[in-house]
């Protein structure tokens, strides 16, 4: 008998012995070391909730996609001496919002992408292109072609979301596809320094980890109420972009490939008790203008340092974030009525909203997996 045949026989004998051993373990001859209950059942109410959540997850998962991005090696990276530098790959999540192949994800997921591949829940893979992208809110819109039978996830009303509501976070954390985590809305109106336009994020304790970025945060009605974007360093809380903000930005991303944010060109701060006497105010209200940037819209409209802005086009302003939110969401080129206090006297001006552009002095790091809680700004440009 040849050596190769003897080796083959030995392998077969070993496999057979292992299989026999495993079958023996599955049917022990002695008493069981565990207990089973044939009639185990939970409370009907809990069993009903259990089934409803499992059914909801099963209904949503076909609309979840796995996003794989291939990036060219950075210029600063030193290539191997033996082999050419390999492209870098990263992964994230997304979800289908339109049967024609439109997919929402995070901007940081597709940043510097050389090529993008989207894998559907049924295993089909398609190349994707970036239709639009906005770094300030960390939102991107992708498009795949030729994919039929897509499951669309509807966008809900995030303004109606309440703290304590049950939510599901869907995504592909650490490359583990089609994962679902469960939790509640732990806070609304979470201000983050990365949310430069003044919009607040949804805070949740549903697990959001690297790879969940771009996936949907869903309520018990099966509606997407947020786009998962960031998580705290310890993983205990995560943050999602509110669906109403997503709905506001999607038309611009689809038509122009970007979002044109409004801009005034002022540094602002909260009005404090110390400012009341100096500025001849009756109470600490409105938004204090610390300085005005020369040649910018506010300067051209007549706004001065130490003015206190009370409202824009009838919208009352209580804090700097209110001003940031109103200005950034106002169409570029629109003339707005600015009501302010100057040396204690109410004054009204007309200002034409300008176009926000990335500036070194006020540039904000693109949202990443780890957020930083916002602090009241001493001087916040807007």
Q: What is the CATH number of the domain that holds 202?
A: 2.40.10.10
pLDDT exceeds cutoff 70 at 218: yes
Final residue of a structural domain among 256, 287, 315:
256
- Same domain? For 234 and 314 the reply is no
DSSP3 helix / strand / coil % (the chain, rounded to 5): 25, 35, 45
Q: Is residue 78 part of a domain?
A: no
Q: How many CB atoms lie within 10 A of CB 120?
A: 20
Residue 9 C-beta-side C-alpha neighbours within 13 Å? 6
pLDDT at position 214 is: 96
Q: Is the pTM of this model over 0.85?
A: no
Q: What is the pLDDT of residue 134?
A: 95
Residue 71 reports pLDDT greater than 50: yes
Same domain? For 118 and 65 the reply is: yes
Give how far Cα 324 sits from Cα of 36, 142, 263, 317, Å. Answer: 61, 28, 9, 10
Cross-strand bridge partners of residue 155? 224
CATH number at residue 346: 2.30.42.10
In a domain, 360, yes or no: no
Domain assignment present for 20:
no
Residue 93, C-beta contacts closer than 8 angstroms, at least 6 positions apart: 64, 65, 66, 67, 105, 109, 170, 171, 172, 211, 212, 213, 214, 215, 228
Which of residues 230, 256, 282 is at a domain's end? 256
Give the pLDDT mean for 288-313: 96
Band (255; pLDDT cuts 50, 70, 90):
very high
pLDDT at residue 110, rounded to an integer: 96
Torsion over CA: 339, 341, 347, 351 (sign): negative
Shared domain check, 174 and 119: no
Is there a single domain that holds both residue 186 and residue 248?
yes
- Give pLDDT tens digits for 139-171: 999 999 999 899 999 999 999 999 999 999 999
Q: Which of 256, 279, 300 is the last residue of a domain?
A: 256
Per-residue model confidence as pLDDT tens digits over 301-353: 999 999 999 999 999 999 898 999 999 999 999 999 999 999 889 999 999 99
Domain hosting 320: range is 262-355
Do 249 and 217 have their domain in common?
yes
Helix (H, G, I), strand (E, B) or coil at 322: helix
**What's the whole-number mean pLDDT along residues 237-257?**
96
Strands of 293-330, DSSP E? 308-312, 315-316
**Does residue 100 share a domain with residue 63?**
yes
In a domain, 191, yes or no: yes
Confidence band of 205 (pLDDT split at 50, 70, 90) = very high
pLDDT band at 200 (very low <50, low <70, confident <90, very high): confident
Same domain, residue pair 127 and 187: no
Mean pLDDT of 175-184: 93
Q: How far apart are CA 140 and CA 150, in angstroms?
A: 19
What's the rounded Cα separation, in Å, for the pair 124 and 11?
A: 38
Tens digits of residue pLDDT in 95-118: 999 999 999 999 999 999 999 999
Tokens in use for 143? 């498009």
Catalytic machinery residues: 108, 138, 213
Name the average pLDDT for the chain. Answer: 84
Number of domains the chain contains: 3
At a CB cut-off of 8 Å and minimum separation 6, what does 352 contact? Answer: 297, 300, 301, 333, 334, 335, 336
Residue 27: its pLDDT value, please? 58
Biggest distance spanned by C-alpha atoms of the chain: 108
Within a domain: 43 = no
């Amino acid at each position: 008998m040849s050596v190769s045949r003897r080796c083959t026989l030995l392998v077969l004998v070993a496999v057979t012995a292992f299989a026999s051993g495993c079958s023996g373990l599955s049917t022990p001859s002695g008493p069981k070391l565990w207990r089973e209950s044939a009639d185990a059942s939970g409370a009907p109410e809990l069993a009903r909730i259990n089934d409803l959540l499992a059914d909801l997850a099963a209904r949503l998962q076909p609309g979840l996609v796995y996003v794989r991005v291939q990036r060219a090696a950075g210029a600063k990276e030193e290539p191997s001496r033996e082999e050419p530098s390999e492209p870098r790959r990263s992964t994230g999540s997304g979800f289908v919002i339109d049967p024609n192949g439109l997919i929402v994800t995070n901007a940081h997921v597709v940043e510097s992408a050389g090529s993008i591949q989207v894998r559907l829940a049924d295993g089909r893979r398609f190349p994707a292109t970036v239709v639009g992208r906005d770094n300030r809110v960390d939102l991107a819109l992708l498009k795949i072609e030729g994919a039929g039978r897509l499951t669309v996830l509807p966008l809900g009303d995030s303004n109606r979301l309440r703290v304590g509501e049950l939510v599901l976070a869907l995504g592909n954390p650490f490359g583990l596809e089609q994962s679902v985590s469960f939790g509640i809305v732990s806070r609304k109106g979470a201000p983050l320094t990365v949310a430069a336009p003044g919009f607040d994020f949804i805070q949740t304790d549903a697990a959001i980890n690297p790879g969940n970025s771009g996936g949907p945060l869903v309520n018990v009605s099966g509606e997407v109420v947020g786009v998962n974007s960031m998580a705290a360093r310890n993983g205990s809380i995560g943050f999602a972009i509110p669906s109403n903000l997503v709905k506001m930005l999607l038309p611009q991303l689809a038509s122009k490939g970007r979002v044109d944010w409004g801009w005034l060109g002022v540094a602002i701060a909260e009005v404090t008790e110390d400012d009341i006497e100096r500025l001849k105010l009756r109470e600490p209200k409105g938004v204090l203008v610390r300085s005005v940037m020369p040649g910018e819209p506010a300067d051209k409209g007549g706004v001065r340092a130490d003015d206190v802005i009370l409202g824009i086009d009838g919208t009352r302003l209580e804090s700097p974030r209110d001003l940031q939110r109103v200005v950034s969401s106002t169409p570029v080129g629109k003339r707005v009525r600015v009501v302010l206090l100057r040396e204690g006297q109410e004054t009204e001006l007309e200002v034409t909203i300008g176009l926000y552009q990335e500036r070194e002095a006020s540039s904000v790091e693109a949202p990443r997996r780890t957020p930083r809680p916002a602090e009241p700004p001493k001087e916040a440009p807007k």
